[in-house]
Amino acid sequence: MPPGILSSRGQGPSPARARLVLCAMSLLQFFVAVDVTVVNIALPSIGADLGVAGHALTWVVIGYTVAGGGLLALGGRLGDLWGRRRVLLAGTTLFGAASLLAGLAPTFPVLVLARLLQGAGEAVALPAAMSTIVLLFPEGPRRSRALSVWAAVASCGLVLGFVLSGVVTEHWGWRWTFLVSVPFILVVIAATLLLVGADRPRPRAAAPVELRGALLLTACPLLFTYGVVEAGEPGSSPWVSVVALAGAACAGAGFVRAERRAAHPLVPPGFFARRARVAANVTTALLSGALSTSFLLFTFVLQDGLGIGPLGAGLTMLPLAVSLVAAAALVPRLLGRWGARACVVAGLGFAAAAMTGIAVVAVLDAGAPWLVPAMVLVAAGMGFGLVGLQYLAVSGTTDEDAGIASGVQRAADQLGGATGVALFVGVGFAPALRPADPFLVASALAVAGLLAGALVVRRVPAEA
């Protein structure tokens, strides 16, 4: 077995091997991100093939996002307790198998189950992958560059998922939106086996895992999202939303209570002792909510407002992907000069300007070219904001808690995005508010969240 990352002899890998590991982990991150958005344009084809109405199809998106986000903290904890390489292999294998099941699903319930399993696989694999990168590259410019690559790959995956969905659905059929990732997942598994060494023996390996807290943490945003979506659905009973939202509140309260009483809580009590870490995770959720909302609003403006087809709408968003690549190259240099907090504040400002631009274009019914500045600003918001927040969220971690730090940060990112979309878009497009422009309302709510994030991140020391 080749020497692994931070091996028992204390020797790190060669620079070439470190870059190969980063490439493999980024490949996994790319297809995990792609699967967040790749189904959006394929949903009508899925509904027509499996005989499902549009309302039920939302679970193909929500199931994956919320299951993944809710279990990410558990995935990070498993990596710390059982070993990152072992957990990385298990999660990646589950994700690949679930992708295969989704592509071959004979019925809609099987497809939804496959999406839930995809989310669970992501939750187990990604914290282990991110913590592997964190421990592989020391704090400073090298870690900044590595995390920039990681964030840029994730962001490009989200954007290119729209393009890939249009191309694959039109030429191969919707099933290949899931099947296309399977061979690449096999490459990640092979690279992990070859490049990442065996895990160290861990004295805490036999410690129990707080499954009850993980299930409650997953149920809370799932019920909240369901309640908000149902509230905005014409003809839906208001009692369904009331019961779902009440259930979400109970699940959230139950999670807090369970964690306080647990002998081995999902997140150790001292984990949030660092003020910068708390602020980073709260701000991550607020920023991700706005950024995820911008993706959906771009799609609505292009397809519903301007009448552009699915493939054309996906191709129109390419400037966003190109801008993300440029931001990934620029941010690492500025992170060392400005500090992480300044980069985060800049990212929040760029994202707020982007949401304002989307609202203006929608209200004025302007053409697609006028959305390009907003796309560039969204890319800048991702590049500056998310990279800076990732750096703050994992600063000061050790081999003992890097996994849970990565898992909590990823959970804040994903759950913040899912909840933000449900809240901002759900309220903005609710029938009760139809006299107001829905794009304006949704954008205003997102900007309010970004302003709250700016107030939170002010609590981080200026040198961070």
Cα–Cα dist 425/28, whole Å: 29
Q: What is the mean pLDDT of residues 133-159?
A: 76
Predicted confidence at residue 175, as pLDDT, reads: 93
Q: Are 84 and 202 in contact (CB under 8 A)?
A: no
Residue 257 shares a structural domain with residue 125: no
Residue 137 shares a structural domain with residue 257: no
Residue 365 shares a structural domain with residue 432: yes
* 384 occurs within a structural domain: yes
C-alpha separations of 339 from 288, 385, 410, 464 in Å: 21, 12, 21, 6
The CATH number that applies at residue 375 is: 1.20.1250.20
Residue 298 shares a structural domain with residue 437: yes
Mean pLDDT of the chain: 80
Q: What is the mean pLDDT of residues 425-440?
A: 73
Residue 155 shares a structural domain with residue 109: yes
Residue 300 shares a structural domain with residue 282: yes
Residue 318 shares a structural domain with residue 247: no
- pLDDT tens, residue by residue, 10-25: 455 677 777 888 888 8
Tell me the pLDDT band of 407, cut-offs 50, 70 and 90. Answer: confident
Q: Which secondary structure element, helix H or strand E, spans residue 347, and what is its range?
A: helix 340-364
In the structure encoding, which two tokens stand for residue 376, read together?
A: 């560039």
Q: Which secondary structure element, helix H or strand E, spans residue 121, and what is its range?
A: helix 108-136
Residue 291 shares a structural domain with residue 437: yes
Domain ranges, residue 251: 210-265
pTM (2 d.p.) = 0.75
Residue 257 shares a structural domain with residue 272: no
In total, the chain counts a number of residues equal to: 464
- pLDDT tens, residue by residue, 329-355: 787 778 778 888 888 999 999 999 999
Q: Are 230 and 426 in contact (CB under 8 A)?
A: no
In three-state secondary structure terms, 430 is coil
* 419 occurs within a structural domain: yes
DSSP codes, 158-211 = HHHHHHHHHHHHHHT-TTHHHHTTHHHHHHHHHHHHHHSPPPPP-TTTT----H
Predicted confidence at residue 75, as pLDDT, reads: 79
Residue 148 shares a structural domain with residue 274: yes
Q: Is 199 or 82 the better-scoring residue by pLDDT?
A: 82
Asked which of 265, 283, 311 is the last residue of a domain, the reply is: 265
* 274 occurs within a structural domain: yes
